[in-house]
Amino acid sequence: MKRLFYAAIAVLAMTLAVIITTPQQLMAQQPAPVVAGKQDRANYESSYPNVCIPLYPPDLDCGDIEPRRFTVNGDDPHGFDGDKDGVGCEG
């Protein structure tokens, strides 16, 4: 009878551990969003509407960021679109 009691406690503890850790693991596996929500856009340069590029300054170069061939509008404060064709970091 004691063995059954300890087995039940062990199963209960394992079940609780799965319930407690599963949501954290799911959240950790989700990739970071490439495009921020509207309320988050204030922290990023508006010249690059499809990617999250930090505000200028500091000045960033293409080697400092991951995105390639993204839309560039307006004044392009980081200078990602050297040939002014509206596409940043083409190289």
Residues lying near Ca ion in the complex (CB under 5 A): 81, 83, 85, 87, 90
- Least CB distance to Ca ion at residue 47 (A): 12
Q: Which residue number, 40 or 64, has a Cβ lying nearer to Ca ion?
A: 64
Q: How many Cα neighbours within 13 Å face the side chain of 65?
A: 23
- Using the Cα atoms of residue 76, residue 79, residue 80 and residue 85 in order, give the sign of their dihedral: positive
- Least CB distance to Ca ion at residue 40 (A): 26
Contact between 89 and 49 (Cβ < 8 Å): no
Q: Which residue number, 45 or 81, has a Cβ lying nearer to Ca ion?
A: 81
